[in-house]
Structure 1
Amino acid sequence: MTLVDEGHPGARAVTVWTLQVLDPSEVMPGRLPAFAVEWQRVDGDKAELSADLYERVGRAWGWVDRIDWTNAEWAAWANRETLHLFLGRVDGEICGYVELDQQGSNVEVAFFGLLANFIGKGIGGWLLGEGLREAWLLPGVERVWVHTCDLDAPTALSNYQARGFVITDTAIEWRLPLLPES
């Protein structure tokens, strides 16, 4: 969806929440999945994988702000020392990911999500909990925060809250739906 001004023809209101956790003791880990999930930190060149996961996970939820990024833009984003990429894997297959963007003493959960065939299998809470654990291991962290909206998975907001996030702001943005792919 494309961000537009209120009143733009065809625009729809999207509720956006900002949430935060201010202390690692507030984090509630997710329940262990009923099957083995491997947690993997990605080091080295993360650009291609970051772009691929953004598209594969986010397309269903309207993540389009970076769809048109070039390889150079993805490299500039993903290969920074302050960007941390983690994967969940089931039987070697990527099931989901967490991208953490450290901004001084703040860490943003920049992207988090599951691939479609792993939604509803009890992985999301655990994966997010692992991402939060990693965020609080980074040096100097005082706050972990995230944006989510009513376009994200129906359980996104409740999952963040179950892990200890507290809503600090609610806003309305106006967005245009994507045109169907031809």
Structure 2
Amino acid sequence: MVIMTEVMMTEDLATREESKPKSSNNIVEQTKQARVIHRALIISSFFLAFTLVDSILQYKDFKAWQILADASGILISLSILITSLILHRRGKIEQANNLIPFSILFGYAPGDLFLEGVTLYNLVSGILLFILAYTLLKPKNLPHWLRMFVLYIAIVFIFSFTDIFARFDISQSPSWQGSLPIITALLAILLGWQILKTIQIKT
């Protein structure tokens, strides 16, 4: 009986010892992934801030109120993204993740209401960023992301066919017309790089 008890205790200790490295490895992996996500959110915030500054400079050149109206959406988007970053750092991961679709929505969709010639750009950019963000964050609330994804596409199309305001044609500014897709392309590349980082962490 004593021998059996000792054997059971030995097996229990061995099981605990085996589980320790695994749990510590999981903690290290989660910490590294959190750092990657924080970096991705900071990079995205930087690009949004750059886009906001670019819009303000365009307004100084053309004095079109529509540019400021579009910039206000970018400002809201940036505020949401910074809030998401703060929540991530506080460990409120799902709350932070749920804000990202709103950031994409406000960052791109309002442009179709105030600017001419941005529908295709907003549609492609938004869809691409939704996919990249979902792949990077792996949020648990899939229905929320699907609803926001469908809502985003619907709003872009509705705004593009709504003629409430006279739109500012961005073709009047070749520099702005060229910088918008370049900014999104660079952001997509950097987010893709962060996704590769998370894959490397798991392997």
Instruction: Find the structure with the greater CA-based Rg.
Output: 2
Greater share of strand residues, 1 or 2? 1
Greater share of helix residues, 1 or 2? 2
Task: Tell me if both proteins adopt one fold, taking TM over 0.5 as the criterion.
Answer: no
TM-score of the two chains, using structure 1 as the length reference:
0.31
**1 or 2 for the larger relative contact order (CA 8 Å, sep ≥6)?**
1
TM-score of the two chains, using structure 2 as the length reference:
0.28
